[in-house]
Amino acid sequence: MDFHIEIPIDTVKGTLVDMDNLSFSMGSGDMLMIVKDGMEGQAHTCDNSSSFSNGSTFSTNLNLVINDLFRNAPQSSGYNISSHGQNPNKVYGLLQCTGDILSVKCSNCVVEANSSIHERCPNDIGGRIWLDDCFMRYHNTRY
């Protein structure tokens, strides 16, 4: 189900409203977080303007990017970028863990983010996911 909500930022800062198992919360920044019950600490967006097939070149490149992020982010102060492939199958990825966690927890967050983003954005050419301890993003265009 797709929906669009427009709320002036100044009217929701610091508020929390429950509506049919959805929570709308505005933090100190200018991003409205929409969280479904049972997914606390998670938010995501998907780019489903195009899709890829399992086993495709894009899928292979995405797996290489995710592996790079998993292997390198914990050793890189919790931040890493990666890219693999050639256009139109090139994949760009980014991972950033919060600065207050140990590298093992960052690695665990990468695993959870990868699983969650594949569940929520299956075969989409782009996706972003925010978890309590990390943010992960991939797309077929540079950002």
**CATH fold label, 43-139:** Killer Toxin P4; Chain A (3.30.430)
pTM (global) more than 0.85: no
Of 36, 25, 45, 143, nearest in space to 94 by CA: 143
Classify 12 in phi/psi space as left (phi over 0), alpha (psi -120 to 50) or beta.
alpha
- 66-103 pLDDT per residue, tens: 999 888 877 768 889 999 999 999 999 999 999 888 88
Task: Give the mean pLDDT per block of 10 residues along the chain (143 residues).
Answer: 40 37 43 43 88 96 93 81 96 93 88 92 95 94 87
Q: Where in the chain is the domain with CATH 3.30.430.20?
A: 43-139
SS3 142: coil
